[in-house]
Structure 1
Amino acid sequence: MATKKKKTKLKSISSGRPPTVKPVRSISSKATRALIRTHHTLEKDRAKALAKGDDAKAEAIAKQIELNGGLEAYQKASLTGQGNDRGGDSSRILMEWLKPIVPTLKKQAGDGESLRLLEVGALSLTNACSKSRLFEVERIDLNSQAQGIKQQDFMERPLPRDQDECFDIISLSLVVNFVPDAVGRGAMLLRTIQFLRSRKYSEGLEDFLPCLFLVLPASCVTNSRYMDEGRLEAIMEALGFVRVQKKLSNKLVYYLWKMGTPTVKRNFGFKKQEIRAGQDRNNFAIVLK
C-alpha cells in the first residue's frame, strides 16, 4: 500500500493541469525568494570568474545554475512573485503615476498615435500596461516565455535608426539588479538614453515624457555598502534624468525618471566606493565610466 501511495503522489505532481484550471501554488514565497537570490549570487560569481579568466570555475558555476533550473526557473519564480498574492504586477504603479495624462493618452490612442513603450525583461502579456491599451508595447526578454515577447538582449538590441524606432517609455522592472556586475548596470542605464525619444511633447505630457520606469529590490538602496538614495539620484541626474515619482515598499522601490534636456558634458565618475559599513550589507553597486 505504501508503494502505491508514493506512485500516486509522483504522478499527481508531474502531471500537468488543463490550462483553464488555476494551478495550486506549489512554491512558497520564501522558496521563491531563495531561488531568485541564489540565481543572482551564482550569476555574479560566474561574472567574477570570467573577469579573472577562470574559465573552469565559470563553467562549474554555469552547470550549477543549470542544475537549479537556469534562467527559466528564475523567470518562473519572478512571474510567481508578480501574482496578486505576492505583491502583484509592478506596472500597476506606473499606470497609477500616469493617471494625470491618461485622458490625453486615450485620445492619442484613438487617433492612432499611441505612445511607444519598451518593456525589458517582460514576463507577461497581461500586465496593467498591456491591459490599458494606451501603448504600442514592445516586449523583450533574454528567455522569452510567450509568443508576444521577443527573445533579445537589450544590450545587443540594434540602436534606433530614427525617432520612429525610439520609445516614449522604457520599463526596467527588476532588470538592472539582474545584471551581474556594477559596470554592466551602469552601461544598461546609459544605453536607455539612446532609445528614448527626443521630441517636444504636448502640454501635460511633457511633465512625464520621455521617461524610464525603474524597479529595484528595496535593499539595493536601503542596505547596500555601495548604493543609497542619494548616490542613485546623483547617477541618474548625471545621465540627464529627473525624478518624477518614487515609492518604497518593504521589498521593492519604484521610480519614474523623466529624461531632461541632454547636457553637453556629463560627470560619469561614479566608482564603486563604500557608503555604508557593516557585515549585513549587500554589495549592489552601479558604476558609470
Structure 2
Amino acid sequence: MPKKKKTKLSYGRPPRFDVPKVSLSSKATRTIIRSHHNLKKAHAQALKTGNEDKAAEIEKQIEEQGGLRVYQEASKLGQSSTRGGDSSKILLQWLSEEGIQAKEVKYDMLEVGALSATNACSKCGLFNLTRIDLNSQEPLIEQQDFMERPLPTLQQDFFDIISLSLVLNYVPDAIGRGEMLKRTIRFLRPPVQSAKVFPALFFVLPAPCITNSRYMDATHLDAIIESLGYEKLKQRISAKLVYSLWRYTGRLPVNPRAFPKVEVSPGKGRNNFSVIIC
C-alpha cells in the first residue's frame, strides 16, 4: 500500500481543509488551537535535536487529536465574524482615525496567511489585495509560502501595507519568526516623509505571546520591530489578542542590533514564545 503523502508545512498558517461544520464552544476552540500549537513546537524541537522517535510520537499524537483538519476547523470558527474574529476590522478603524479614505487609486496590500476573501479589508474599497496562504482552498487566495515569495524588482510588485495576522505565532522556531519579520520590509514601498501611515505593517499575535511569555513582553517586542525600521502608530491589547500598526520609516541602524533569546519575565506557568533576530 503506498505511503500517504505528508503535507509540508513552512512559515505561516497551516493548510486549510473543507470539513463538515461542527458546533464548538469558544473554550473548546481555544483548547484545540493551543494544544495544536504546543505539539507543533514540541515536534519542531524534537527534530532540531535529532530525536526522531520523539518527533514520531508527537506526530502520532497530533494525528490522534485530529491533526490539521480539526485545527483548521477550530481556527476558522475562532476567527469567524460571528465571534468578532475578523482582525481587519481593527485595521480599518485605525486607518479611518488617521484620515485614510477610499480613493480612485487603491493601496496595494499583501495579506499573508489569508483565511477568507470576504473579510472587512476585502469589502472596504481601500485596497488592491494580494492574498497568499500555504495551501489555499479559495480561487482568490494564492497558494504560496511568504518565505519563498520572489522578492519584488518592479515598482508594481511592492506593497503599501502587509497584513501579518496570527501568522508569526505558527512559525515553530524563534529564528524563523525573526526572519519572517525581517522579510516584511523587503516587500514594502520606500517610505515618503510626508506619509502618515504607509508603508505599513499590520501585525496581530495571541495576547499570551507577550503577556505570559518568559522571553517576550511588549517592550521587548517593540524593540525588535523598531530595530527593523518600523515606528508604532497604534496598538490594542485585549484578553485574547494584541493588534498593532507600524509605519516603515526606512531608518535602519548602521550596526543592526541582535536580539538573542533572553528571559525577560521569569516565573512558573509562562510560555516560551520568543523571537530571535540574528
Query: TM-score if structure 1 supplies the norm length?
Result: 0.84
Match of 1:168 in 2: 160
Match of 1:26 in 2: 23
Alignment partners' CA distance in 1, 2:251 and 2:40:
34
Match of 2:100 in 1: 102
Alignment partners' CA distance in 2, 1:41 and 1:225:
15
> How far does residue 188 in structure 1 lie from its aligned partner after superposition?
0.4
Q: How many residue pairs are counted as aligned between the two chains?
A: 259
Change (3 A) 1:88 1:184: same
Match of 1:281 in 2: 270
For residue 202 of structure 2, give the secondary structure of its aligned residue in structure 1.
Answer: strand
> How far does residue 144 in structure 1 lie from its aligned partner after superposition?
1.4
Match of 1:11 in 2: none
> How far does residue 264 in structure 1 lie from its aligned partner after superposition?
4.9
Alignment partners' CA distance in 2, 1:35 and 1:261:
39
For residue 227 of structure 2, give the secondary structure of its aligned residue in structure 1.
Answer: helix
Alignment partners' CA distance in 1, 2:68 and 2:152:
28
Match of 2:106 in 1: 114
For residue 273 of structure 1, give the secondary structure of its aligned residue in structure 2.
Answer: coil
More helix by percentage: 1
- Residue 123 of structure 1 contacts residue 145 of structure 1 at CA under 8 Å; is this kept in 2? no
In structure 1, runs of 5+ residues without a counterpart are 1-14, 17-22
Amino acid at match of 1:40: H
Alignment partners' CA distance in 1, 2:268 and 2:42:
19
Q: 1:52 aligns with which of 49, 52, 57?
A: 49
For residue 63 of structure 2, give the secondary structure of its aligned residue in structure 1.
Answer: helix
Q: Relative contact order, CA 8 A, sep 6+: which one is greater? A: 2
- % of aligned pairs identical? 54
Amino acid at match of 1:36: I
Q: 2:260 aligns with which of 262, 271, 278?
A: 271
In structure 2, runs of 5+ residues without a counterpart are 1-18
Q: 1:142 aligns with which of 129, 134, 156?
A: 134
Change (3 A) 1:242 1:280: same
Q: Write the mapping of 1:1-289 to structure 2, written as runs, cut at 5 A.
A: 26-99=23-96, 100-103=98-101, 106-107=102-103, 110=104, 113-200=105-192, 203=194, 206-289=195-278
> How far does residue 81 in structure 1 lie from its aligned partner after superposition?
0.8
Structure of greater Rg: 1
Deviation sequence 1:70-123 (CA, Å, 0-9, x none): 3343222121112244233100000001113333xx22xx2xx21111111110
> How far does residue 56 in structure 1 lie from its aligned partner after superposition?
3.4
- Residue 133 of structure 2 contacts residue 144 of structure 2 at CA under 8 Å; is this kept in 1? yes
